[in-house]
Amino acid sequence: EAQVTQNPRYLITVTGKKLTVTCSQNMNHEYMSWYRQDPGLGLRQIYYSMNVEVTDKGDVPEGYKVSRKEKRNFPLILESPSPNQTSLYFCASSGGGARGNDGYTFGSGTRLTVV
Partner 1 sequence: GQQVMQIPQYQHVQEGEDFTTYCNSSTTLSNIQWYKQRPGGHPVFLIQLVKSGEVKKQKRLTFQFGEAKKNSSLHITATQTTDVGTYFCADGTASKLTFGTGTRLQVTL
Beta strands in 27-114 (DSSP E): 31-38, 42-51, 54-57, 65-66, 76-78, 87-94, 105-106, 110-114
10 scored as a contact of partner 1 (CB under 8 A)? no
Considering only 75, 76, 90, 112, the residue that binds partner 1 (CB under 8 A) is 90
Closer to partner 1 at the Cβ: 85 or 110? 110
Long-range pairs for 64-71 at CB < 8 Å and ≥24 separation? Answer: 64/34, 66/34, 68/32, 71/28, 71/29, 71/30
63 scored as a contact of partner 1 (CB under 8 A)? no
Considering only 28, 80, 84, 108, the residue that binds partner 1 (CB under 8 A) is 108
List residues binding partner 1 (CB under 8 A).
30-31, 33, 35, 40-45, 48, 50, 56, 58-59, 90, 92, 94-98, 100-109
